[in-house]
A = this chain, B = another copy of it.
Amino acid sequence: MRIGIIGSGNVGGTLGTGFARAGHEVVFGFRDPASPGAASLLGRAPGTRAATVAEAAASSTVLVLATPYEAAEAALAPAGDLSGKILLDATNPIAPGLAGVSSPAGSSGAEEIAKLARGARVVKIFNTVGFEVMANPTFLAGARPATMLYAGDDTSAKEVAHGLAAGLGFDPVDLGPLAAARLLEPFALVWIRLALVCGHGRETAFLYLHR
């Protein structure tokens, strides 16, 4: 699968590296693909390449949005027409000081991004754990892999998202329509609070128990 990554921080870098390791063709979209930052990321993510955001978007069937939520609009602008693309939204609208989610009332960050990325098939996923867990969902010896909840309106896009999460080693669980991102964004803040505020550390995750 051809996967473009928009956002080259820890989350984007970890997901791109993991997808490449799983055999996918990964391209990171950069404002300047020849920048030292791009070279540094490619050095840590074997088998990936760098391109402009427009090239990364045009050449990919799946796009991962892994910028800060506040940067999403500017990051998506150069991507061009996203009609039909699968857009995996890993962002989180978090209020300053981790005081809560800043999702708009009666909506979610994911639904707002779906309005920006007109025609794209948006799936909210990869927003509820930190990048360390994305690098190793079975970080806790003897336990089952961490759960990855996701939500979206397009069934085939969700199947792709499910497969990509499983390929990284997660136990993917469908939470329903994209509007359920209104729950997944607060869920992310539960992780953030436990890991960063309550002091459990970043290698923490939830595992979903069901029969």
Residues of A within 8 A of B (CB): 99-100, 105, 139-140, 143-144, 146-147, 149, 173-176, 179-180, 182-184, 186-187, 189-190, 193-194, 197-198, 200-201, 203-211
Known: A140-B211, A187-B190. A198 touches B179 (CB 8 A): no
Quick check: A197 and B209 within 8 Å, CB to CB? no
What residues on B are CB-neighbors of A146 within 8 Å? 209
What residues on B are CB-neighbors of A194 within 8 Å? 173, 175, 208, 210
For the complex, give the distance between the alpha carbons of A147 and B191 in Å: 13
Minimum distance in angstroms from A150 CB to a CB of chain B: 12
For the complex, give the distance between the alpha carbons of A61 and B197 in Å: 30
Known: A182-B100, A186-B186, A186-B187. A201 touches B193 (CB 8 A): no
Partner of A176, one of B179, B180, B198, B203: B198
Which of A99, A140, A203, A207 has the most chain B CB atoms closer than 10 A to its own CB?
A: A207
Partner of A175, one of B143, B198, B203, B206: B198
Question: Other than the known A175-B193, A186-B187, A204-B209, what 8 A-B pairs have Cβ atoms closer than 8 Å?
Answer: A105-B105, A149-B190, A174-B198, A176-B193, A182-B186, A183-B190, A194-B210, A201-B210
